[in-house]
Structure 1
Amino acid sequence: MEAYSGNRARGWRKWLLNRFVLVPAAILAVAAAWNLYASTHDDGLVTGQVLDAQGKPVEGADVTLWVFSFTTFAENRSVKTGADGSFRITGNPSHHIQLSAVKPGIGSSQRIPIRLYFRSQNTTLAAPLILSGKA
């Protein structure tokens, strides 16, 4: 009876360590981890900073969020920068957006395209929006 239960235990171990079990289990684990990450980072928060051509923060600049709507980008919302040139946009509904900034008398930035991995993904700009030229 003891030999039978030892073979049985080895049979289960062999079955569990089989590639036809391990590969789908690994895929399931990665998918579960991704879904957990996405569900905890989907507030639609976009943050960044606006600087002038000399690298100084720009207070009161208008930062506009453009959202892709089927064929074109449409203006979704606009916020003003704080004293340190930082901005915070909440409620981004898309994964394909663009950002631009403008302040009369100082200049405007180029429209920066941003591709996110999923809708409403929280993101922080890697580089600030730089105002140049006259607006």
Structure 2
Amino acid sequence: MSDEDDITRPRWQRLLLNRFVLVPLTLALVAGGWNLYTLRHDDGIVTGQVVDDAGAPVADATVTLWTFNFTTFAETAKVMSRRDGRFSFVGNPSHNIQVSAEKPGTGRSARVPIRLYFRSQNVGLPEPLRLRQGG
């Protein structure tokens, strides 16, 4: 772009369409969008499902939420899975958590680590907690 092109453009275009305005404006829009997203998704809801080794839903399994506290994971809450095997925790205070499930006679799942982008982020487990005997 030559100096002549710059002079012929309207003044408002010269002021607004330069890197000193566009870059900060873009950064402000991205930060504002992220803040709106976190505002709408920070209830601390953790959802998932418990299934047996064959993939059938398991009712009344004890699901435990573990949260990281400086050096170790501590048990924070427990819920029972519903008839369809689904469970949910409300009010998760952390961004580094684990969940596990257990039902006597059916088995136990491994602890599943979940790393969240921000504290109290809502999350649904992508895979069910699978109970295995001796697991």
User: When the two structures are superposed, what TM-score results if normalisation uses the length of structure 1?
Assistant: 0.92
Provide the residue aligned with 1:3 in structure 2. Answer: none
Matched residue type, 1:68: F
1:82 corresponds to: 82
Please tell me the residue identity of whatever aligns with 2:25: A
Partner secondary structure for residue 10 of structure 2? helix
Q: Which residue of 2 aligns with 1:92?
A: 92
Greater shift in the superposed pair: 12-21 or 51-60: 12-21
Residue number in structure 2 paired with 1:128:
128
Question: In structure 2, how many angstroms separate the alpha carbons of the residues matched to 1:115 and 1:134?
Answer: 26
Please report the RMSD computed on the Cα atoms of aligned residues, expressed in angstroms: 1.5
**C-alpha deviation, 1:12, in angstroms:** 2.0
What is the percentage of aligned positions where both structures have the same residue?
Answer: 58
1:108 aligns to 2:78 (yes or no): no
Name structure 2 gaps, 5 residues minimum.
1-6
Superposed displacement of residue 40, structure 1 = 0.7
AA of the residue aligned to 2:18:
N
| Cross-structure match for 2:22 | 22
Do the aligned partners of 1:107 and 1:133 also contact (CA within 8 Å) in 2? yes
Q: Which piece of structure 1 moves more, 40-49 or 9-18?
A: 9-18
Amino acid at match of 2:90: T
Which SS does the other structure have where 1:53 is aligned? Answer: coil
Write the distance in 2 (CA, Å) between the matches of 1:115 and 1:14: 45
Q: CA deviation at 1:134?
A: 4.1
1:5-84 equivalence runs, <5 A: 10-84=10-84
Q: TM-score, normalised by structure 2?
A: 0.92
Question: Equivalents in 1 of 2:130, 2:114: separation in Å?
Answer: 16
Q: Distance in 2 between matches of 1:99 and 1:27?
A: 36
Contact 1:105 1:134 in 2 (8 A): no
Post-superposition Cα deviations, 1:100-132, rounded to whole Å, max 9, x if no partner, equal 000000000000000001000000000000000
